[in-house]
A and B are shown apart, each in its own frame.
Chain A
């Protein structure tokens, strides 16, 4: 755990781009203004355009409006404080650290899943890079045996990051690859095994069952595994993200979310709804395409970024 803390610390210090790029927007929208119906409507627009969703937005706006009518909120600055409190309260004390194997003799297994093109493989490169920097030995499992070029993509990352990959036949059984990888992780005595999987829509029952099988097969070799199950979510996704979170959680008991592509203009507001409905913690955010472009999730900064200017 101490190790992870230091990793987080490094990330915090080194990579603070989100704040620079996106922070302060909330203030620009509301700061120094008198509160009135127009400002409330602007706020509603900002929330909706962040993909926060109708239900959550309505709840927040109703709160603001009630407080405005009873004169508990009179200025934009007060609204900022109020909203920050409300939104941050959605993220209570939550364990946002990566979970590691309690037994140093047993490799930590991280299973990574998500819909097509969400950013799974790239995010794995980011995690692997961060762990590697912490002198952890990392092994990658190329369980996307379906998409053209997927194995090669992971292999290239492994070459660049100087680590090994376990792979199988193109078109072969991904669960078999996962099993071999678990075996290899034990025999090679690595610290962390990260399992890449093929992108799949949460509506595809048979592919979701395949995912469960991958998890179960790894468990046959390493009973406590996977220690971490990360769902990779594209921040540009709209309200469908909630559905994704629910279905993946059902199939493989997701323990954390990796929210990608926050370096674009999308705000990823759906994680507010996801947080309320599923309580799955967001653990990391992706802010670019290189292995260094990752940050731990920080609700405060995220809340600020939600209201950034367009």
Chain B
């Protein structure tokens, strides 16, 4: 989501590189672009100004370490400032309170994602062996109670974990807009009693979306707050929110003293400056990010990672985490070695492709890589083409996979028939595989810059070369001991979108 912000920084710091020393003048010049990048990323105007001033203060007079360029030094300073701004010392997750039940109250504007997030939190807690009760305190949005009931059922039946998931509602209290104000208080109190009686670990209250300027509805939340004194009041904010994020967050915080923030729809391509704004005006820690509509699409918030993405370092950490779930370190090392020696076969390629695809949609994976996000903005990853490639390789015999040169015209015909493609497509794949395995051999020896260039060349080559390129290339992301610099792009076939 921070892709374009990253780009802003990269171009700003390009100007600094090679100038030898950080002076007030060159910092200010770079900060102008940083400022625009942050504003374009929807960070609030006032916060941007404060941020830029503080960075200039930190930077000027900094001794440039011999081993670093001024640009790298500045990146470090800005990165640190961003992390400082977004992080807060806090226990992760939803700390348990005893005696229970731990009470969580969700609040936020209309459509920000409260109900869905209630479900995600319930799933998160269930997985950790904590029983949950979801209480339907949105009595005005049509079918809000049904929505939460369905979500609760889904968590109960479909999500992993042992603990129980309960649902509490009083559907007879539902009324049209404006006519149910206040009824939520009783519902919450009754839900609390029910949760206590059942010995539930955590009670989650789903409240109706409301504008921070609606006094009646804000009053209702204040009353629930007084009556139940929730342990965690969580503000749910849409990551695509613009400048207004500060106004609503400030109002919710002033009236409820929120304990944490959850940013939803982080799976979009928003630059997400709201994260900075909301944290700054409330001081409350960002606890989770929502990354999809499904009930497991929730992650703990890591300021370093997000700041890293802002600076164009990519979200390599998340990528590596996912990769580690699928591949062992030895396996990855073995692959990297094979590639370096030019011994990479079709068989290995198929393996890698399958592994990568298990990790998630290709485009999402690519987006986590440094510098790739922006380049990918307008391209479509054609998962169908990947299916075809997989089909072709599947139709090859093990001998053919080990040595594609064995594929003669009659073998080619057989493979084409087996995978339902034209023989020319098979030849094309074979030819491009040749190019790619040679490239990947060279690639293994390159630094990150060279890799990025090679990726671009490959992409320009288009077709299956693109697909093979990334898939085969330098093994799975930096899982080796040497850290993340191994990471290169598992690139796939790109189709330029029609303008």
A contacts, CB < 8 Å to B: 45, 48-51, 53-54, 115-119, 146-150, 152-153, 155-157, 160, 201-203, 205-206, 234, 236-241, 243, 250, 261, 263-267, 270, 288-290, 310
Which A residue sits closest to B377, measured CB to CB?
Answer: A243
Task: Tell me whether A239 and B41 are in contact (CB under 8 A).
Answer: yes
Of A149, A202, A205, A236, chain B has the most CB atoms within 10 Å of the CB of A236
Task: Tell me whether A205 and B244 are in contact (CB under 8 A).
Answer: no
Nearest chain A CB to B253 CB, angstrom units: 15
Nearest chain A CB to B339 CB, angstrom units: 30
Residues of B within 8 A of A270 (CB): 242
Partner of A53, one of B40, B147, B148, B240: B40
- Of the candidate stretches B12-20, B104-112, B403-411, the one touching chain A is B104-112
Residues of A within 8 A of B146 (CB): 148-149, 152-153
Residues of A within 8 A of B176 (CB): 160, 290
- Asked if B308 is at the interface of the complex by the 8 Å CB criterion, the answer is no
Residues of A within 8 A of B151 (CB): 148
- Asked if B135 is at the interface of the complex by the 8 Å CB criterion, the answer is no
Task: Tell me whether B110 and A289 are in contact (CB under 8 A).
Answer: yes
Partner of B271, one of A202, A239, A241: A239
Partner of A264, one of B46, B244, B273: B244
Partner of B36, one of A45, A54, A202, A237: A54
Partner of A201, one of B45, B111, B267: B267
Task: Tell me whether A54 and B40 are in contact (CB under 8 A).
Answer: yes
Task: Tell me whether A152 and B243 are in contact (CB under 8 A).
Answer: no
Q: For chain B, residues 343 to 357, give those with C-beta under 8 angstroms from any C-beta of chain A.
A: none
Known: A237-B242, A240-B268, A264-B211. A119 touches B247 (CB 8 A): no
Task: Tell me whether A153 and B141 are in contact (CB under 8 A).
Answer: yes
Nearest chain A CB to B261 CB, angstrom units: 16
Task: Tell me whether B270 and A238 are in contact (CB under 8 A).
Answer: yes
Task: Tell me whether A148 and B242 are in contact (CB under 8 A).
Answer: no
Task: Tell me whether B498 and A250 are in contact (CB under 8 A).
Answer: yes
10 extra interface residue pairs, beta carbon distance < 8 Å, beyond A45-B45, A49-B44, A146-B293? A116-B293, A148-B115, A148-B146, A148-B148, A148-B151, A234-B240, A236-B109, A236-B245, A264-B212, A266-B243
Partner of A238, one of B147, B242, B269, B497: B242
Task: Tell me whether A266 and B242 are in contact (CB under 8 A).
Answer: yes
Residues of A within 8 A of B238 (CB): 117, 234, 236-237
Partner of A116, one of B111, B147, B241, B381: B111
Task: Tell me whether A153 and B270 are in contact (CB under 8 A).
Answer: no
Residues of A within 8 A of B113 (CB): 116-117
Residues of A within 8 A of B241 (CB): 236-238
- How far, in whole Å, are A148 and B212 apart by their CA atoms in the complex? 26
Which A residue sits closest to B113, measured CB to CB?
Answer: A117
Task: Tell me whether B240 and A265 are in contact (CB under 8 A).
Answer: no
Counting from the closest, the 10 A-B pairs by CB-CB distance are A238-B242, A117-B111, A149-B147, A238-B42, A148-B150, A156-B142, A266-B244, A152-B143, A153-B143, A51-B242
Task: Tell me whether B143 and A238 are in contact (CB under 8 A).
Answer: no
Task: Tell me whether B111 and A157 are in contact (CB under 8 A).
Answer: no
Interface of A, helix, strand, loop or mixed by DSSP = loop
- Asked if B213 is at the interface of the complex by the 8 Å CB criterion, the answer is yes
Known: A148-B154, A240-B269, A289-B110. A265 touches B244 (CB 8 A): yes
- Asked if B363 is at the interface of the complex by the 8 Å CB criterion, the answer is yes
Pairs A–B under 8 Å by Cβ, sample size 29: A48-B45, A49-B45, A49-B243, A51-B242, A51-B243, A115-B265, A117-B110, A117-B112, A117-B113, A149-B148, A153-B146, A153-B147, A156-B143, A203-B269, A236-B241, A236-B245, A238-B242, A238-B243, A238-B274, A239-B270, A240-B269, A241-B240, A241-B242, A243-B269, A261-B110, A265-B211, A265-B213, A290-B176, A290-B177
Nearest chain B CB to A48 CB, angstrom units: 5
Nearest chain A CB to B66 CB, angstrom units: 36
- Asked if B485 is at the interface of the complex by the 8 Å CB criterion, the answer is no
Residues of A within 8 A of B131 (CB): none
- How far, in whole Å, are A147 and B109 apart by their CA atoms in the complex? 19
Which A residue sits closest to B273, measured CB to CB?
Answer: A238
Residues of A within 8 A of B242 (CB): 51, 236-239, 241, 266, 270
Partner of B240, one of A149, A152, A238, A310: A238
- Asked if B10 is at the interface of the complex by the 8 Å CB criterion, the answer is no
Residues of B within 8 A of A290 (CB): 176-178
Which B residue sits closest to A206, measured CB to CB?
Answer: B383
- Asked if B62 is at the interface of the complex by the 8 Å CB criterion, the answer is no
Which A residue sits closest to B114, measured CB to CB?
Answer: A117
Of A241, A266, A267, A310, chain B has the most CB atoms within 10 Å of the CB of A266
Residues of B within 8 A of A160 (CB): 176
Which B residue sits closest to A293, measured CB to CB?
Answer: B177
Which B residue sits closest to A120, measured CB to CB?
Answer: B111
- How far, in whole Å, are A155 and B247 apart by their CA atoms in the complex? 34
Q: For chain B, residues 256 to 286, give those with C-beta under 8 angstroms from any C-beta of chain A.
A: 265, 267-271, 273-274
Residues of A within 8 A of B271 (CB): 238-240
Residues of A within 8 A of B150 (CB): 148-149
Task: Tell me whether B248 and A265 are in contact (CB under 8 A).
Answer: yes
- How far, in whole Å, are A156 and B147 apart by their CA atoms in the complex? 13
Task: Tell me whether B274 and A264 are in contact (CB under 8 A).
Answer: no
Task: Tell me whether B147 and A240 are in contact (CB under 8 A).
Answer: no
- How far, in whole Å, are A50 and B248 apart by their CA atoms in the complex? 14
- Asked if B144 is at the interface of the complex by the 8 Å CB criterion, the answer is yes
Which A residue sits closest to B154, measured CB to CB?
Answer: A148
Task: Tell me whether B111 and A153 are in contact (CB under 8 A).
Answer: no
Which B residue sits closest to A234, measured CB to CB?
Answer: B111
Task: Tell me whether A149 and B143 are in contact (CB under 8 A).
Answer: yes
Which A residue sits closest to B49, measured CB to CB?
Answer: A45
Interface string of B119-132 (1 = CB under 8 A from A): 00000000000000
- How far, in whole Å, are A47 and B14 apart by their CA atoms in the complex? 29
